[in-house]
Amino acid sequence: MNAFSVFFRAVSWQRDSHGLFDYESRNIVKMSLKTQSQGQIIRDESEIDFAKLDHVIDFIQKPKAKSLCLLKKDKEGYYLDHSVLTQNTEEESVDRLWLVARSLKNETGKYDYKIQKFDAIKLGRVRFRVKDFRCDQQQMTEDELYEQELREAMEVRSSRDIEGVTPDQIQCRICWGNDEDHQNPLILACMCKGSVGLIHFQCLKSWVLTQKQEKPANAQN
Protein backbone atom coordinates (compact mmCIF):
# COMPACT_ATOMS: atom_id res chain seq x y z
CA MET A 1 0.00 0.00 0.00
CA ASN A 2 1.38 3.39 -0.99
CA ALA A 3 2.08 5.84 1.83
CA PHE A 4 0.58 9.26 1.19
CA SER A 5 2.33 12.43 2.27
CA VAL A 6 0.83 15.75 3.30
CA PHE A 7 2.52 18.98 2.25
CA PHE A 8 1.39 22.20 3.86
CA ARG A 9 2.62 25.77 3.91
CA ALA A 10 2.33 27.91 7.01
CA VAL A 11 2.31 31.71 7.02
CA SER A 12 2.43 33.62 10.31
CA TRP A 13 2.93 37.19 11.49
CA GLN A 14 3.42 38.99 14.79
CA ARG A 15 0.76 41.67 14.97
CA ASP A 16 -2.80 40.92 16.13
CA SER A 17 -5.19 40.72 13.17
CA HIS A 18 -8.27 39.74 15.23
CA GLY A 19 -8.55 36.26 13.75
CA LEU A 20 -8.26 37.45 10.14
CA PHE A 21 -5.58 36.66 7.59
CA ASP A 22 -3.27 39.67 7.44
CA TYR A 23 -2.84 40.24 3.71
CA GLU A 24 -1.12 43.60 4.31
CA SER A 25 1.62 42.49 6.68
CA ARG A 26 5.12 42.42 5.22
CA ASN A 27 6.80 40.95 8.28
CA ILE A 28 5.66 37.38 7.70
CA VAL A 29 7.31 34.04 8.31
CA LYS A 30 6.76 31.22 5.82
CA MET A 31 7.43 27.58 6.48
CA SER A 32 6.80 24.41 4.45
CA LEU A 33 6.31 21.07 6.17
CA LYS A 34 5.83 17.48 5.06
CA THR A 35 4.51 14.51 7.02
CA GLN A 36 3.13 11.02 6.59
CA SER A 37 1.67 10.78 10.09
CA GLN A 38 -1.07 12.33 12.18
CA GLY A 39 -0.24 15.20 14.49
CA GLN A 40 -0.97 18.77 15.49
CA ILE A 41 0.18 22.10 14.11
CA ILE A 42 1.58 24.30 16.86
CA ARG A 43 2.38 28.00 16.72
CA ASP A 44 4.86 29.67 19.06
CA GLU A 45 4.77 33.39 18.25
CA SER A 46 5.86 33.44 14.58
CA GLU A 47 7.29 29.89 14.51
CA ILE A 48 5.24 26.94 13.26
CA ASP A 49 5.96 23.34 14.24
CA PHE A 50 4.40 19.91 13.77
CA ALA A 51 4.09 17.56 16.76
CA LYS A 52 2.42 14.26 17.63
CA LEU A 53 -1.27 14.16 18.49
CA ASP A 54 -0.55 13.36 22.14
CA HIS A 55 2.09 16.09 22.48
CA VAL A 56 1.49 18.36 25.50
CA ILE A 57 2.72 21.94 25.24
CA ASP A 58 5.01 23.08 28.03
CA PHE A 59 3.55 26.52 28.76
CA ILE A 60 6.31 27.26 31.26
CA GLN A 61 8.97 27.03 28.56
CA LYS A 62 6.69 28.33 25.79
CA PRO A 63 4.00 30.55 27.37
CA LYS A 64 2.76 31.82 23.99
CA ALA A 65 2.61 28.44 22.26
CA LYS A 66 -0.76 27.37 20.90
CA SER A 67 -2.15 24.32 19.12
CA LEU A 68 -3.82 25.58 15.95
CA CYS A 69 -5.38 22.39 14.58
CA LEU A 70 -5.09 18.62 14.33
CA LEU A 71 -4.10 16.61 11.26
CA LYS A 72 -5.95 13.28 11.34
CA LYS A 73 -6.30 10.34 8.99
CA ASP A 74 -9.08 7.89 8.20
CA LYS A 75 -9.73 5.37 5.42
CA GLU A 76 -10.49 8.21 2.97
CA GLY A 77 -7.31 10.15 3.66
CA TYR A 78 -6.08 13.06 5.74
CA TYR A 79 -8.27 15.84 7.12
CA LEU A 80 -8.00 18.79 9.50
CA ASP A 81 -9.86 19.01 12.82
CA HIS A 82 -10.17 21.64 15.52
CA SER A 83 -7.52 21.62 18.22
CA VAL A 84 -8.44 19.97 21.52
CA LEU A 85 -8.67 23.30 23.37
CA THR A 86 -11.13 24.79 20.86
CA GLN A 87 -13.45 21.82 20.29
CA ASN A 88 -15.75 22.97 23.11
CA THR A 89 -15.65 26.69 22.30
CA GLU A 90 -18.41 28.55 20.50
CA GLU A 91 -18.78 27.50 16.89
CA GLU A 92 -18.12 31.02 15.61
CA SER A 93 -14.99 31.58 17.71
CA VAL A 94 -12.00 32.97 15.80
CA ASP A 95 -9.84 30.27 17.40
CA ARG A 96 -11.65 27.52 15.51
CA LEU A 97 -10.90 26.48 11.93
CA TRP A 98 -12.27 28.65 9.13
CA LEU A 99 -12.26 27.85 5.42
CA VAL A 100 -10.87 30.66 3.23
CA ALA A 101 -13.09 30.40 0.16
CA ARG A 102 -10.79 32.50 -2.05
CA SER A 103 -8.04 29.90 -1.58
CA LEU A 104 -10.03 26.94 -2.93
CA LYS A 105 -8.16 25.41 -5.85
CA ASN A 106 -7.77 22.14 -7.71
CA GLU A 107 -5.80 20.95 -10.75
CA THR A 108 -7.91 23.03 -13.13
CA GLY A 109 -7.82 26.24 -11.12
CA LYS A 110 -10.13 27.87 -8.60
CA TYR A 111 -13.59 26.54 -7.85
CA ASP A 112 -16.61 27.87 -6.01
CA TYR A 113 -17.95 26.89 -2.59
CA LYS A 114 -21.62 25.90 -2.42
CA ILE A 115 -23.23 27.69 0.53
CA GLN A 116 -25.25 25.39 2.76
CA LYS A 117 -27.84 25.88 5.44
CA PHE A 118 -26.39 26.76 8.89
CA ASP A 119 -23.06 27.86 7.39
CA ALA A 120 -21.26 30.65 9.24
CA ILE A 121 -19.82 33.28 6.91
CA LYS A 122 -17.25 35.80 8.09
CA LEU A 123 -16.68 39.01 6.12
CA GLY A 124 -13.94 40.81 7.99
CA ARG A 125 -14.98 40.94 11.64
CA VAL A 126 -18.67 40.60 10.78
CA ARG A 127 -20.20 37.12 10.98
CA PHE A 128 -23.38 35.87 9.35
CA ARG A 129 -25.31 32.63 9.82
CA VAL A 130 -27.25 31.08 6.93
CA LYS A 131 -30.63 30.29 8.49
CA ASP A 132 -32.38 29.33 5.26
CA PHE A 133 -32.46 30.11 1.56
CA ARG A 134 -34.74 29.56 -1.40
CA CYS A 135 -34.16 29.79 -5.15
CA ASP A 136 -36.23 29.41 -8.30
CA GLN A 137 -34.49 26.15 -9.20
CA GLN A 138 -35.38 24.53 -5.89
CA GLN A 139 -38.22 22.14 -6.58
CA MET A 140 -38.78 19.94 -3.53
CA THR A 141 -41.86 18.35 -2.08
CA GLU A 142 -42.71 18.88 1.59
CA ASP A 143 -41.52 15.35 2.42
CA GLU A 144 -38.20 15.91 0.61
CA LEU A 145 -37.72 19.26 2.36
CA TYR A 146 -38.47 17.66 5.74
CA GLU A 147 -35.92 14.87 5.11
CA GLN A 148 -33.33 17.45 4.07
CA GLU A 149 -33.91 19.49 7.24
CA LEU A 150 -33.47 16.33 9.33
CA ARG A 151 -30.10 15.68 7.65
CA GLU A 152 -29.01 19.28 8.21
CA ALA A 153 -30.28 19.62 11.76
CA MET A 154 -27.62 20.34 14.37
CA GLU A 155 -27.23 18.23 17.50
CA VAL A 156 -29.28 19.52 20.44
CA ARG A 157 -27.67 19.62 23.87
CA SER A 158 -29.70 18.76 26.96
CA SER A 159 -29.51 19.13 30.74
CA ARG A 160 -27.09 16.18 30.83
CA ASP A 161 -24.50 18.26 28.97
CA ILE A 162 -24.27 20.95 31.68
CA GLU A 163 -21.31 20.72 34.03
CA GLY A 164 -21.03 22.12 37.55
CA VAL A 165 -24.80 22.42 38.11
CA THR A 166 -26.66 20.58 40.87
CA PRO A 167 -30.02 18.86 40.14
CA ASP A 168 -31.97 21.46 42.14
CA GLN A 169 -30.56 24.20 39.88
CA ILE A 170 -31.90 22.58 36.72
CA GLN A 171 -35.19 24.11 35.64
CA CYS A 172 -36.99 25.45 32.59
CA ARG A 173 -36.57 29.21 32.08
CA ILE A 174 -40.24 29.48 31.06
CA CYS A 175 -42.28 27.29 33.42
CA TRP A 176 -39.59 26.82 36.12
CA GLY A 177 -40.30 23.10 36.14
CA ASN A 178 -37.56 20.46 36.18
CA ASP A 179 -39.50 17.38 35.08
CA GLU A 180 -38.54 16.03 31.67
CA ASP A 181 -39.06 12.97 29.50
CA HIS A 182 -38.34 11.76 25.99
CA GLN A 183 -41.25 13.74 24.53
CA ASN A 184 -40.51 16.94 26.44
CA PRO A 185 -36.81 17.17 27.35
CA LEU A 186 -34.99 20.14 28.83
CA ILE A 187 -32.72 21.41 26.07
CA LEU A 188 -30.12 24.14 25.53
CA ALA A 189 -31.68 26.09 22.65
CA CYS A 190 -29.37 29.12 22.68
CA MET A 191 -25.85 30.23 23.66
CA CYS A 192 -26.82 31.05 27.27
CA LYS A 193 -24.52 29.40 29.81
CA GLY A 194 -25.54 27.11 32.68
CA SER A 195 -29.06 26.31 33.79
CA VAL A 196 -30.44 29.66 32.54
CA GLY A 197 -30.19 28.27 29.02
CA LEU A 198 -32.49 25.31 29.68
CA ILE A 199 -36.01 25.24 28.31
CA HIS A 200 -38.60 22.51 27.82
CA PHE A 201 -39.10 21.53 24.19
CA GLN A 202 -42.86 22.10 24.47
CA CYS A 203 -42.35 25.46 26.20
CA LEU A 204 -40.02 26.52 23.37
CA LYS A 205 -42.54 25.33 20.80
CA SER A 206 -45.34 27.32 22.47
CA TRP A 207 -43.17 30.44 22.67
CA VAL A 208 -42.26 30.19 18.97
CA LEU A 209 -45.95 29.92 18.05
CA THR A 210 -46.76 33.07 20.05
CA GLN A 211 -44.00 34.95 18.20
CA LYS A 212 -45.05 33.69 14.79
CA GLN A 213 -46.32 36.35 12.41
CA GLU A 214 -47.91 35.08 9.23
CA LYS A 215 -48.11 37.34 6.20
CA PRO A 216 -51.65 37.72 4.86
CA ALA A 217 -52.31 35.86 1.64
CA ASN A 218 -53.05 39.11 -0.24
CA ALA A 219 -50.01 40.99 1.14
CA GLN A 220 -47.60 42.49 -1.37
CA ASN A 221 -43.86 41.65 -1.21
Domain boundaries, the chain: 6-95, 99-154, 156-211
Q: Which residues of the chain form beta strands (DSSP E)?
A: 6-13, 28-35, 39-44, 47-51, 65-74, 77-82, 105-106, 109-110, 120-123, 126-129, 157-158, 186-188, 198-200
pLDDT of residue 176: 87
The answer on pLDDT for 220 being more than 70 is no
pLDDT of residue 49: 86
User: What is the rounded distance in angstroms from the CA atom of residue 188 to the CA atom of residue 161?
Assistant: 9
pLDDT of residue 173: 87
What confidence category does residue 219 fall into, taking pLDDT thresholds of 50, 70 and 90?
low
pLDDT of residue 119: 83
What confidence category does residue 94 fall into, taking pLDDT thresholds of 50, 70 and 90?
confident
pLDDT of residue 169: 79
User: What is the rounded distance in angstroms from the CA atom of residue 91 to the CA atom of residue 101?
Assistant: 18
Taking only the tens place, the pLDDT of each residue in 34-90 is 888 899 988 888 788 888 888 888 888 888 888 888 999 888 888 888 887 776 667
What confidence category does residue 142 fall into, taking pLDDT thresholds of 50, 70 and 90?
confident
User: How much is the mean pLDDT over the chain?
Assistant: 79
The answer, as to whether pTM is greater than 0.85, is no
Q: Quick one: average pLDDT of 174-196?
A: 81
pLDDT of residue 163: 74
Q: To the nearest whole percent, how much of the chain has pLDDT over 90? A: 2
Q: Which amino acid appears at position 6 of this protein? A: V
CATH number belonging to the domain at 156-211, selected among 3.30.390.30, 3.30.40.10, 1.10.3720.10, 1.10.8.60: 3.30.40.10
Taking only the tens place, the pLDDT of each residue in 121-140 is 887 778 888 877 776 556 66
User: What is the rounded distance in angstroms from the CA atom of residue 69 to the CA atom of residue 95?
Assistant: 9
| Structural contact between residues 32 and 8, judged by C-beta atoms closer than 8 angstroms | yes
